[in-house]
Chains A and B, each alone.
Chain A
Amino acid sequence: MKRIAILLFLLLPVAALAVEPDEMLQDPVMEERAREISKELRCVVCQNQDIDSSNAGVARDLRILVRERLVAGDSDEEVISYIHARYGDYVLMSPPLNASTLALWLAPFVLAIVALLVGWTVISNSRRKTATPGFSDDEEAEIARFIDNNTSKDNS
């Protein structure tokens, strides 16, 4: 019982929400959209959190702003671009594809191709080496002679 209580208390802070009841919208569908948008936006004070889970003052203001824009009839994209215009690429949890983020987006694919290329070359090289060429006629004759010599010695 005590253990269960401790476990529950340990889980309690995880379950705690940053979104406060007075921020939430009456319309559950719109509130759900606001939550989804909030997860796409980064808190500018505590930079590894989205604004949906941040308790910072600016994050709260942005959450309220997101909801205001939604109520005003903005689409999800319009809300995000509204905030993007004020805070720049930094506020987006997934950076947009442009000249300065090209390396970021392409690096995984380039590295995967390089890795595959290296792997393929290494494997095909080693396969070529292990393929044993057959003996020439001279070598076959020498082997036969060697075996012949040794067996005759053992017998005598």
Chain B
Amino acid sequence: MGRLLAFVPLAIAAIFGGFFFWGLDPDRDPNNIPSVLISQPAPEFDLVAVDGLETPGLSRADLVDNPGPVVVNVFASWCVPCRAEHGVLTGLAENEGIRLFGINYKDKPEDAVRWLAELGNPYEKIGSDLSGRAGIEWGLSGVPETFIVGPDGTVLYRYVGPVVGDQAISKFREALVQAGALPGGQNG
């Protein structure tokens, strides 16, 4: 018994060491908040169109019974990373046939209209979330955030932050391929 106990400090050191080693893993992002929405039906929300924009508003009904997966992007004109991300999403929507919906988060309508006029509008529908309440329904922690929603309205994937840069884009494309929105095995 006494001899066995001599190994206890070693065992404790090994457990703690293992934990610290796990903590040092550069791939682990402690800021990564797991989303409760994944594999859940998309939240209930109903947003009117952005004032002064011809694009119609967005509600939960638009996310169910689609022929394929769709992308919901939360953006705002005051969000600088959104500007960088805009080109990537536009490319996906215009060149690769991704259906893109937008939630304009806490944005002045006139600013949003000007922003889209300047950068182009790849969104099929845009809901104006002035109060940020729909954002809370989506479990939003900041903008931009991008969701992939399955044909039946199930949330399949959530990307926090701008889809900018090779690593982020390939990660997002991979998720699109998995969701079935992009054909697999190509320029991933």
Query: What is the count of residue pairs linking A and B with beta-carbon distances less than 8 angstroms?
Result: 50
A125 neighbours in B (Cβ, 8 Å): 2
Name B33's closest neighbour in chain A (CB-CB).
Answer: A90
Q: Which of A45, A65, A87 is close to B133, meaning CB atoms less than 8 Å apart? A: A65
Q: Which of B36, B137, B138 is close to A88, meaning CB atoms less than 8 Å apart? A: B36
**How far does the alpha carbon of A88 sit from the alpha carbon of B2 in the complex, in Å?**
45
Q: Give the shortest distance, in Å, between A74 (CB) and chain B (any CB).
A: 15
Tell me whether chain B's interface is mostly helix, strand or loop, or mixed.
loop
Q: Given A86-B43, A88-B36, A125-B2, is A58 in contact with B140 using a C-beta cutoff of 8 Å? A: yes
A90 neighbours in B (Cβ, 8 Å): 33-34
**How far does the alpha carbon of A85 sit from the alpha carbon of B137 in the complex, in Å?**
9
B10: Cβ under 8 A from any A Cβ: no
A121: Cβ under 8 A from any B Cβ: yes
Chain B 142-159: CB-based contact to A (< 8 A → 1; otherwise 0): 100000000000000000
Q: Do residues B141 and A58 form an inter-chain contact, with CB atoms below 8 A?
A: yes
A23: Cβ under 8 A from any B Cβ: no
B35 neighbours in A (Cβ, 8 Å): 88
Tell me whether chain A's interface is mostly helix, strand or loop, or mixed.
helix
A114: Cβ under 8 A from any B Cβ: yes
Chain A 69-108: CB-based contact to B (< 8 A → 1; otherwise 0): 0000000000000010111101000000000000000000
**How far does the alpha carbon of A58 sit from the alpha carbon of B140 in the complex, in Å?**
8
Q: How many residues of B contact A (CB 8 A)?
A: 23
B139 neighbours in A (Cβ, 8 Å): 86-88
A61: Cβ under 8 A from any B Cβ: yes
**How far does the alpha carbon of A34 sit from the alpha carbon of B142 in the complex, in Å?**
23
Q: Do residues B8 and A114 form an inter-chain contact, with CB atoms below 8 A?
A: yes
27 contacts between A and B (CB under 8 A): A44-B33, A45-B141, A47-B31, A57-B132, A58-B132, A58-B135, A58-B140, A58-B141, A61-B132, A61-B135, A61-B136, A62-B136, A83-B136, A85-B36, A86-B137, A86-B138, A87-B139, A88-B33, A88-B139, A90-B33, A90-B34, A114-B8, A117-B5, A118-B5, A121-B2, A121-B5, A125-B2
Residues on B lying within 8 angstroms of A by beta carbon are 1-2, 5, 8, 12, 31, 33-36, 43, 106, 131-133, 135-142
7 closest residue pairs by CB, A with B: A88-B36, A44-B141, A61-B132, A86-B139, A90-B33, A87-B139, A121-B5
